[in-house]
Each structure stands twice: as structure tokens, then as C-alpha cells.
Amino acid sequence: MSDTTTRGIRIVVKPQFVPEQSQPDRGHFFFAYHISIHNDGEVSAQLLSRHWVITDGEGRTEEVRGAGVVGQQPMLKPGEHFEYTSACPLTTPVGTMHGSFHMVPAAGEPFEAAIAPFRLAVPRILN
């Protein structure tokens, strides 16, 4: 799990392994992650883009950039939240993700809302 707040924008990530969409014998591990974005600040802000850094268990890194999230660019008023679920395939049973959302507040300068690193791991693989 990951829980980070930047300038009043709180981002909580809960990852999970999806065994029914994985094929471990072929090096295909599928992970979903649920994201909650909360505006705990005092100014409305819009999420315009995302940046992810995905690292597999062998240290290979991939960066993903794009507009919005799940086809949306949500505007969050103070006290509002937005939730979505997405997914990430890996070729290893463990990995990590971190990144940021580019936010544009109604007043003030645009900023990057940090998404703290979180682990993608097949259950009990690290025991």
C-alpha cells in the first residue's frame, strides 16, 4: 500500500495480484491497483496527466506517461475524491511502481502530486 499527500492531494494505492489473469509458468504476472485521490486541501484541482515508473524484480524499468487516468481528467473540489482501478503486467513475480499526477489547481501553480512506491508481489513470494 502507498499513501502520500502533496499540497492537499492525498493519493492512496492498494495493489493486488490477479492470479486468474496470470500465467506464472510463462513469466506473466498480472497485478491490479486501486487508486483513491482525495482533495484534502482548500483549492479545487484538476488531474491532467500521469507518470508511472514501473520496475520489475530484475531491475528493468519502464516509464509510462499519458493524459488523465482511465480516460478522464477529474476536477476535485475540496473534500471530493476520485477512485479508479488499473492494472500492470510484469514478467517477474515482484516489482514496484511509483510516480505522480500532474495537478492544476484553480489558484496557484501546477504541481506534481507524488505517488509513493508500492510493491507488486505474488502473495507469499517474499516469505
The Cα diameter of the chain in Å comes to 52
With cell 490477479, the residue in question is: 18
Q: Which of 28, 3, 9 is nearest to 74 (CA)?
A: 9
The residue type found at 110 is P
Position 126 scores a pLDDT of: 63
Position 127 scores a pLDDT of: 56
C-alpha cell belonging to residue 95: 516489482
Position 108 scores a pLDDT of: 85
List strand residue ranges (DSSP E) for the chain, in order.
2-6, 9-17, 29-39, 45-56, 61-67, 75-76, 81-90, 94-105, 111-121
Beta-carbon contacts of 59 under 8 Å, excluding residues fewer than 6 positions away, are none
Q: What is the pLDDT of residues 27-70, one digit of tens each?
A: 999 999 999 999 999 999 999 999 999 999 999 999 999 999 99
C-alpha cell belonging to residue 61: 524499468
Position 70 scores a pLDDT of: 93
Q: What is the pLDDT of residues 59-116, one digit of tens each?
A: 999 999 999 999 999 999 999 999 999 999 999 999 999 999 999 999 889 999 999 9
Give the global pTM. Answer: 0.93
Is the pLDDT score of 125 beyond 80?
A: no
Domain ranges for the chain, please list them.
Answer: 2-121
Question: How far is Cα 96 from Cα 61, in angstroms, rounded to an integer?
Answer: 9
Task: Give the CATH architecture of domain 2-121.
Answer: Sandwich (2.60)
Position 124 scores a pLDDT of: 81
